[in-house]
Amino acid sequence: MHRRLPSPGWLVAIVATFVVVVTQQPSGQQGTRPPQPPQASQPPPPRLDKPTEIPLDLFQVPDGFEVTLWAATPMVHNPTNIDIDKDGRIWVAEGVRYRSHHARQPGGDRIMVLQDTDGDGKADASHTFVQEPALIAPLGVAVIDNKVVVSQPPDLIVYTDVDRNLRFDPAIDTREVLLTGFQGINHDHSLHAVTVGPDGKWVFNAGNTGARFTDRSGKTFNILGPYRPDPVGPFTFPHDPAEYAGKPSDDGHVYVGGFTARMNPDGTQVEIIGHNYRNSYEQSMTSLGDIFQNDNDDPPACRVSWVMEYANFGFASNDGQRSWQADRRPGQTVAVAEWRQDDPG
């Protein structure tokens, strides 16, 4: 089952360039990729021979928990997202090519598989599932049986490991672009990871770079964000936002900002179940299907919120034309103004 932990009592998290284990004491469609702007030649990242040293005393954890090092460079480099498969292996999306470092790894970023083969509580094996030039700091990886779903703007890619050997071989395995049209290639406000709900539907979200995509049922969705193409910037956009600004999606609604979508695993019947966030990184669901997310705005106004289905979360105005700063009133803190806490509804 998706998101299954390796064994009872283990929680796994990624911090910076390493993986940390928190121990609890017993109690078909092809996307069109726009040309990439030329990048200055840069040396490859240094390959460290020794694991990164982690100052574990910097972590603050509740009583009954401890933080230990589970994996480090050179087993994995600059992780952006993880998932845990049914056998307890940890799959990692790497982002070595993030923004100005685009030229560091010409072969592309990687999806890695890490394992603890001897059961001592530390990773001792690491290998590449897939590496390709199209992978540019992907922000999501989800392992659902033998399908590996990678969030790589402008595409949501599904790799099917047909022979289940944990290595992608194009002669045997398959690669499918399930959806395409997500704005902000190599931008951290773009497409994030897929999770699976108790009803079997797939849920994903994206930050406020926006999107224009068509699902496998033929419905087109327009989601406007505040970002615009920058010809000299490190990220690119497959669509000009001016083409769809203010235009309703095929479901009749106008969507702005970050959003959450739910769909069938085959990419049909997409529905937007929340929008107007800043940059929510992934989401988590209870056994009853309630969705929670962590919306990122650096320290001043990060928040964890329950996703009330079909709600507008108010980061920008309803039409996306005014930011929260334009509506901020004297005396309001950043967090109160940004999330419109004085203006419920």
Q: Which of 87, 110, 133 is the last residue of a domain?
A: 133
What value does the CA radius of gyration of the chain take, rounded to a whole number of Å?
20
Number of domains in the chain: 2
Interval 11-38: pLDDT, tens: 333 333 343 434 444 444 444 444 443 3
Q: Mark whether 195 and 120 lie in a shared domain.
A: no
pTM: 0.84
Domain that residue 100 falls in:
1-27+56-133
Q: Which of 133, 168, 184 is the last residue of a domain?
A: 133
Q: Mark whether 10 and 108 lie in a shared domain.
A: yes
Mean pLDDT for all residues in the chain:
86
Q: Mark whether 16 and 148 lie in a shared domain.
A: no
The verdict on residue 33 lying in a domain is no
Interval 124-138: pLDDT, tens: 999 999 999 999 999
Greater model confidence, 321 or 9: 321
Q: Which of 98, 116, 133 is the last residue of a domain?
A: 133
Q: Mark whether 100 and 15 lie in a shared domain.
A: yes
Please tell me the predicted confidence (pLDDT) of residue 96.
96
